[in-house]
Chain A
Amino acid sequence: MSNDAHIVVRDLTMAYGSFLIQKDLSFTVNRSDIFIIMGGSGCGKSTLLKVMIGLKSPSTGDVCYDGKAFWSAGESEQEATKRKFGTLFQSGALWSSMTLAENIGLALKQYTDLGDAEIREVAAYKLMLVGLAGFEDYYPNEISGGMKKRAGLARAMALDPEILFFDEPSAGLDPISAKLLDDLIIELRESLGTTVVIVTHELASIFAIGNNSVFLDPVTKTQLATGDPKKLRDHHENYVVRNFLLRGEAEEKAA
């Protein structure tokens, strides 16, 4: 697994109007990392994700993919970069007017020359990967919440993206389904070398799958730490970071 920088966030400041969310964020996501964006509720994790996938522009700073700045690039370059992303939204965000196969096939239809039969074959394969074999002709409102999430993942993977973004993947899932989803994420990283960026505050999955992270603090409105979450938990000098990662049971001592 190569260890070069895939995504570099530089001096990023995000705000809604004059309301500051986070300032001075700088961190690096290496290729094939499973990178965790963590922090307490309302600290701007999801906003950071929106900036990274190109839905919300930052106030200052930029996000670089493979060394190319995203926000200062032109629209066509942005579109090309975005095609390398796959995003799983919090509740799946499947299009309710389409079957699962059509949901997955839409991007393939748009961006490849594949015929209808081939698209269906690819969609069937993606559904097999997430354990939903045979569900091609179901509409999103006919399947359960956990299945919607997995179908959302299948859609995110439709174009074999280089980077997968997850917004709270285990929210609303039972522990076993959450574990299976974690295993699936690791499996995809291992077999495809995909870079994975995950917004979450589920400690179990942070330690189970994350090998790099950034910790956002809602009080100081900036990042407090970045690096392997296990090392941060055991050795980081900041009490707030350790306390978060130990579920509020850290002892107040200098590490």
Chain B
Amino acid sequence: MTAATLTFDDLPEGILAIEMSGDWLLGSSLPAAESLLARIGATPGPQSISFSTDSLGDWDTGLVKVLIAIQRAAEARGIELDQSGLPDGAQRLVALAFAVEEREGARRIIKRKGIFEQVGTATLAALDDLKKLLTFTGELMLSVGRYARGKATYLRSDVLQYCQEAGVEALPIVSLISFLIGMIFAFVGVMQLNMFGAGIFTANLVAVAMVREMAAIMTAIMMAGRTGAAYAAQIGTMKVNEEVDALTTLGMNPIDFLVTPRIIALVIMMPLLTMYSSLMGILGGMAVGLSMLDVTLVQYVQQTIDAVGLNALFGGLFKSVVYGSLVALAGCQQGMACGNSALAVGQSTTKAVVMGIVLIVVSAAVLTVIYINLGI
């Protein structure tokens, strides 16, 4: 490979002769064209430019790039360009590059935003998100009304399918996490309560904590990561593929068809999963309690039964219904609000999980205050 060279010379009659030789390949060290471009832009400028490329070797984009810069500079000064000395292919490529004029106003000017503008934009975006969530909730309420009146179009098999996905298929992970949570509670309980000889109350600690709070909240967080994210990704991808538009054109309400069945499924499955999670947690606690405390199985079970009232159970189940509907709401809302690219699907999924967990925690706090005031 021979090194690329670029020389130019002022000939009589205002002709600027440019000579190019060697291999002009992208990525090899190409000669800088700045001095040449400066010459073209200088006064008095040349009348015309000619090329000689007799000893030009291989060339690719590296050459054409420079030719385009030369042509731009020449056009700006109204200088005639004689390209006959260039290789045939290079002439055609330059012509092709200038064949379509740049569309007016297409080019973007990227300007940096100041800190105030950024904060302002972010605040407006957050308010807009909140408004969208409320609008979506409203639409969902209307859809639930249509379901109640039997006027909604949906597939019953879809609801069962979603129940299967959100419920039965979540059993392994719910079992594992709940069992371990129960064990952790029991360890803490045994250590602390044994200090004043109240080891048996570990059963109370585990049972009350699981049934009243932890089963619902842990299951909800698992559902946010598992099902809420799946809802956002499924509906988001359907939006990208225009499947949602296809439903609308058929006169089907996408909320009725896609969103409400999913929410119904999660609202049905969440209390069931929560009950199951409580049971697994109590079993986990029992495994630890029986091995570390000097109690019998019957004693432990009796202690658990005495500890958990019906109020606590229903309180926990009500929470799970609230959490489940919020997780499903966040997932579906983010899915329906998804932009139209692969990237947007990922962003919606992330947002769905974050929003789901935030909603869970906020509603948990609110519900706890209400429960305390009601004395449940």
Interface residues in chain A, defined as those with a beta carbon under 8 Å from any beta carbon in chain B: 96-97, 112-114, 121-122, 125-126, 128-129, 131-141, 160, 184, 187, 190-193
Residue contact B26 to A114, C-beta cutoff 8 Å: yes
A191 CB contact (under 8 Å) in B27, B89, B100, B103 = B89
> How many contacting A-B pairs (Cβ < 8 A)?
73
Residue contact A138 to B108, C-beta cutoff 8 Å: yes
B89 CB contact (under 8 Å) in A131, A135, A136, A193 = A193
Question: What are 13 contact pairs spanning A and B, CB under 8 A?
Answer: A122-B61, A122-B65, A129-B97, A134-B103, A141-B340, A160-B26, A160-B60, A190-B89, A190-B92, A191-B92, A191-B93, A192-B89, A193-B89
Question: Which B residue's beta carbon lies closest to that of A108?
Answer: B26
Residue contact B108 to A137, C-beta cutoff 8 Å: yes
CA distance in complex: A150, B213 (Å): 57
Residue contact A112 to B26, C-beta cutoff 8 Å: yes
Return B341 CB to nearest CB of chain A, in Å.
4
Return B56 CB to nearest CB of chain A, in Å.
15
Return B277 CB to nearest CB of chain A, in Å.
38
Contacts of B102 in A (CB 8 A): 133-134
CA distance in complex: A131, B340 (Å): 24
A125 CB contact (under 8 Å) in B68, B107, B341 = B68
| In the assembled complex, B313 has its CB within 8 A of some CB on chain A | no
Contacts of B339 in A (CB 8 A): 141
Extra contacts, 18 of them, besides A137-B110, A140-B341, A192-B93 (Cβ < 8 A), are A97-B342, A97-B343, A125-B65, A125-B68, A125-B97, A126-B61, A128-B98, A128-B100, A131-B99, A133-B106, A134-B102, A134-B103, A137-B107, A137-B108, A141-B339, A160-B61, A187-B96, A193-B89
| In the assembled complex, B186 has its CB within 8 A of some CB on chain A | no
| In the assembled complex, B90 has its CB within 8 A of some CB on chain A | yes
Tell me the residues in window 57-110 of chain B with beta carbons closer than 8 Å to chain A beta carbons.
Answer: 60-61, 64-65, 68, 88-90, 92-93, 96-103, 106-108, 110
Number of B interface residues in the complex (CB < 8 A): 30
Residue contact A141 to B341, C-beta cutoff 8 Å: yes
Residue contact A121 to B65, C-beta cutoff 8 Å: yes
Return B6 CB to nearest CB of chain A, in Å.
16
Return A195 CB to nearest CB of chain B, in Å.
14
Contacts of B26 in A (CB 8 A): 112, 114, 122, 160
Return B24 CB to nearest CB of chain A, in Å.
11
Residue contact A191 to B88, C-beta cutoff 8 Å: yes
CA distance in complex: A160, B110 (Å): 29
Residue contact A134 to B106, C-beta cutoff 8 Å: yes
B27 CB contact (under 8 Å) in A97, A113, A133, A184 = A113
Contacts of B88 in A (CB 8 A): 191
Return A163 CB to nearest CB of chain B, in Å.
14
B107 CB contact (under 8 Å) in A112, A114, A134, A193 = A134
Contacts of B93 in A (CB 8 A): 129, 191-192
Contacts of B97 in A (CB 8 A): 125, 128-129, 133
Residue contact B341 to A96, C-beta cutoff 8 Å: yes
CA distance in complex: A126, B342 (Å): 24
Return A247 CB to nearest CB of chain B, in Å.
30
Contacts of B98 in A (CB 8 A): 128
Return B343 CB to nearest CB of chain A, in Å.
4
Return B23 CB to nearest CB of chain A, in Å.
13
Most buried by B among A96, A97, A114, A193: A96
* Chain B positions 269 through 281: 1 when the CB is less than 8 Å from some CB of chain A, otherwise 0: 0000000000000
CA distance in complex: A138, B102 (Å): 14
Contacts of B96 in A (CB 8 A): 129, 184, 187, 191
Question: Which B residue's beta carbon lies closest to that of A121?
Answer: B65
Question: Which B residue's beta carbon lies closest to that of A160?
Answer: B60
Return A215 CB to nearest CB of chain B, in Å.
31
CA distance in complex: A140, B89 (Å): 30
8 closest residue pairs by CB, A with B:
A96-B341, A131-B100, A191-B89, A191-B92, A133-B102, A134-B107, A128-B97, A112-B27
Contacts of B101 in A (CB 8 A): 133
Return B327 CB to nearest CB of chain A, in Å.
27
